[in-house]
Structure formats: C-alpha cells, structure tokens
Amino acid sequence: MKIMIVGAGGVGGYLGARFIRAGENDVTLVARGAHLQAIQTQGLHIIDQQEEYTVQPAHAVEDPSGLGIQDLILLTLKATDLEAGLEAIRSNVSDQTVILPLLNGVEYRPRILKHYPRADALEGCIYILSNIVEPGVIRKKGEIFRLCWGKENFDPDNYAQILKLFDRSLPRHKPTADIAYEQWRKFLFISPMAALTSLYKVPMDQVYREHSAQLSRLLEEITALARAKGISLGEKEIEATIAQASKVLPGAKTSMQLDLERGKPAEIEALVGYVVKEGKRLGVDVSEMERIYQLLRAEPSPGNHHE
C-alpha cells in the first residue's frame, strides 16, 4: 500500500511512524526545513508514553511530485496550508486514491473535491497531543488518541485495506458514517477555546475560570449552528465540553494561540471565521463569535489573511 503523509509534523509524523512500525514499507513523509533534513539523515524518532523508537520512511521529501500515484494520502496540515498541500499532490492522486484530511475545523471534503473531483475524499478528525520537540523528533504526550474517519453513507467494508492498516497500527480508531457529528463534537471544544485563548492571551484553564460566561455563549452559538446544519449537538455535548475544559492541564495553550504568539500564520479563518460566515449564511445568531473574530482580525499578524 502506497501511503503519503502531507505535513509530517507532530500529528502526521506520529501516524506515519506507526504505519512504518506496523510493517508498511512504502510510506512517504512530506515535510520541510530542518525537520525534513533530520528525517532524511537520521530517520524519524518517536518518544511515546512507554517507549522510544526510530523509523526510516521509504521517502522523506518536500516535493512529492515524482513519487507516483498513492493509495492513501493523509492531510495533516494547518488549515492555512491546505490549498498549497492539495496542489503539491497533483501527480499523486487518481480516482482510486483515498484522501483523508485530519485538520482542525470541519467540512474539508468539499474543498478536496474541488481540486480532485474523482478522488475518494473522506472526512476525519483526530484527538492527540503530539509535537516536534526538535528536528526529527516527535513526542506524544499522555494516553489521548482517537482517530475518527468516514463520510456520509460510509461503508467500512469498502475500505478493508485501510481498516486493516488502522487496526494493526493505531491505538484507537472509529470508522463512521456519522463523521460530521464527530468533527463538530471536537470543533465545539477547539473553536471557542482557540478564540478565547487568542483574544485574552491566556491559557485554557484561565479561560475556563475567568471567562466561563463567554465560553458558554460561544458553545450555545456553535451548537445552534451545528443544528442548523443538521448535526445533533445539544446540551449533553455542551456539558461534556465544559467538563473537558475544567480538566485541561494548567498553562496549556491552544495551537492557534501559540501560532499568533510566534508570529506564524494562524487558523483564524478555519476555527473562528468559519462560524461567522456559516452563521450569516444560515441565519444563525453568532454575534459573540463575530465580535471576537473582528477583534482577532484587527490584530497585526501573518495569520490574519483570508483563505
């Protein structure tokens, strides 16, 4: 099976390493900079909860154009890099290629199909704490791992090869036809947390303690938007999200907040702007998120561009 990971950072690199360790011998990692150079010269080193190991991918490249048609392509990029990533794989996609996006946010399948109308595009979401600690080295923190993947009217039997791959290589995964619910369930946590941590420049536990009313308002807005889109979020999911927020590690920041602090392109459009635009389109009141969106856009940052 020819597998390509586009954006082999903390998440994608970890997944690629799991596949290689499970016996896949044709895994391509697409990365860049010092991280790519380290993988090319020393392999990719993983620090997991109970073990450390190094894998040697079949290919580690910045430009995958010469590597032929792939069976499975995982997109583990920042949302800000998605369009460039999709263009980069133009020579790697056929109508047999399965493309699985694992990005922050929702509704990436339509964007993939705009580029590749005949590809088999899925939707996905992942729960993992994993990051590059130095070039060529990825540390996974804690026990958290859950990968959900599928599409509407999804039949896992049609994806037997991928199902077997995930079964033998990943701690937990869930193939599902209700992937929209899974994505929005995650979005319900990451969108308001990204918005509020970035606005107030404080970690998640402080948002929970000091801005709980505003957090609740955003949860209500996103839940109403999901329902307008036919996705069954409600009070149960809001309560579970608040409970999740109450347990975050002290000092933990969102990736969007970290990107803004570091002057890097941030996922404002995918995590905040999307809510505002869909709210307007569907006639859902998302006025609190819109206010935060305008404030975040007003701050000078390379992340404040439009997708």
Distance CA 121, CA 117 (A): 9
Task: Report whether 225 contacts 187 (CB < 8 A).
Answer: no
> What average pLDDT score do residues 203-230 get?
97
Identify the pLDDT of residue 300.
67
Distance CA 254, CA 197 (A): 7
E strand or H helix at 145:
strand 137-150
Task: Report whether 149 contacts 173 (CB < 8 A).
Answer: yes
Q: With bands split at pLDDT 50, 70 and 90, how would you rate the model's confidence at 304?
A: very low
Tokens representing 35? 């991280």
Among 270, 278, 285, 283, CA closest to 217: 285
Please name each of the domains of the chain with its CATH number. 3-177 (3.40.50.720), 181-298 (1.10.1040.10)
The chain-wide mean pLDDT, for the chain, equals 95
Task: Give the residue, 299 or 152, on which the prediction is more confident.
Answer: 152
pTM across the whole model:
0.93
Identify the pLDDT of residue 306.
39
Identify the pLDDT of residue 307.
37
